[in-house]
Structure 1
Amino acid sequence: MNDDDFIEQFEACSFPLEQWHHRAHVKLAYLYLTRHGFDAAEMMLRNGIRAYNAANNIPDEPTSGYHETITQFWLRIVDATVQQYGQLPTADEFFEFHPQLSQKKNHRLFYSPGLFMSPLAKREFVEPDLTHFPIVTNATEVG
């Protein structure tokens, strides 16, 4: 599926739930960042994931549903990767070229388990407590 179709299906909440996994989240972050810039991508991801979850009857409970810090963590990691290495023609190419993005547990380098899985981190973004995010000169801008 090409990037435009992927976004269209996600935003229409018709993207197959069985395919809504880590790779799809990273691809969506990449596409929103490179097409709309960091601030807009942040809002679009938050609102889009919440709407998609609601449309698919995913309950928002302590161990399921939208998690703000997870979303923000991956947005920042994808943004740092784009800033450091640049864009590629498609989200799939970007994901394949950066295998480190396939590691769902990367957050363990930045967050202690207690903080990352806390109710506060689920509800709002919390800064890492183990190490800082990579320094990026400025967030991805559309241009």
Structure 2
Amino acid sequence: MNETLTYFWIQIVHYAREATKNPTNDFPGFLLMNPQLLNESEFPLVYYKRETLFGDAAKKGVVLPDVKKLPDILPSATPTIATNQIKDQSIEKLDDDEFLRQFEACTLTNWSHKTHVRMAWLYLTRDGRRTGVNKIFDGIKNFIANSDTARKTTFHFTMTYFWIQMIDLAIAQSPKDLTFEEFLRQNPQLMNGGLFLEYYKKETMLNNPTARQEMVLPDIKPLPT
């Protein structure tokens, strides 16, 4: 048994549980938001030198990291929720042009569900579906690759397409020239991060590697058109 490695994973899993939102409140959803936890061989080496982590001292007792400090465990989920709300409020103060500029520059300070929806809504309303879809896909990939804010997330093709479909349908059914907040008041279902579960089984969306790479059709009911 390696005491240090055991402590490391307890610390990291606890931190991930407190610091991230779980869209489905189950283990697959937790892993969807924290894919780094599946990298059991390399992820500990972000914090420890190999010789330190697997040395005799680390096996017999807890040894502190010598590459970088472990993330702090939050005492409860409340501070995280409050912090996310503050960040959301800060982003809401940005006008649409500045919001997109920061998204494209990978400097947005929050990567919440609401941020996703606003970004997609802006591209779809400004550029139309054909061009907007490409900008959404490319933009998310770029943001995940280059923003510290999204470092815990991975691109999911089917999930992204699902939300494009739902947002585009809502745009078509809503009055024109709405602000984003007005659009959300007209379409409150879009703030339900688990909406996809009305159309997909959890295992189809969250446990299927194919769904991350390409479009997988719903297996509960068809997407609305």
Give the TM-score of the pair, scaled to structure 2.
0.54
Report the Cα offset of residue 113 of structure 1. Answer: 1.1
Letter paired with 2:95: N
Q: Does 1:33 align with 2:33?
A: no
Structure 1 residue runs of 4+, over 6 Å off?
none
Deviation digits for residues 35-92 of structure 1, max 9, x if unmatched?
11112111111111111111125568xxx41111111000000011111123343223
Letter paired with 2:142: A
Partner of 2:102: 9
In 2, Cα distance between equivalents of 1:68 and 1:128: 13
Partner of 2:220: 130
Give the TM-score of the pair, scaled to structure 1.
0.84
Return 5+ residue gaps in structure 1 as ranges: 136-143
In 2, Cα distance between equivalents of 1:59 and 1:29: 20
Q: Does 1:92 align with 2:185?
A: no
Q: Percent identity?
A: 33
Letter paired with 2:172: Q
Letter paired with 2:166: I
Partner of 2:7: none
| Alignment RMSD (CA, Å) | 1.6
Q: Does 1:49 align with 2:152?
A: no
Residues 3 and 90 in structure 1, CA contact (< 8 A), matched pair in contact too: no
Report which of the two structures shows the higher radius of gyration computed on alpha carbons: 2
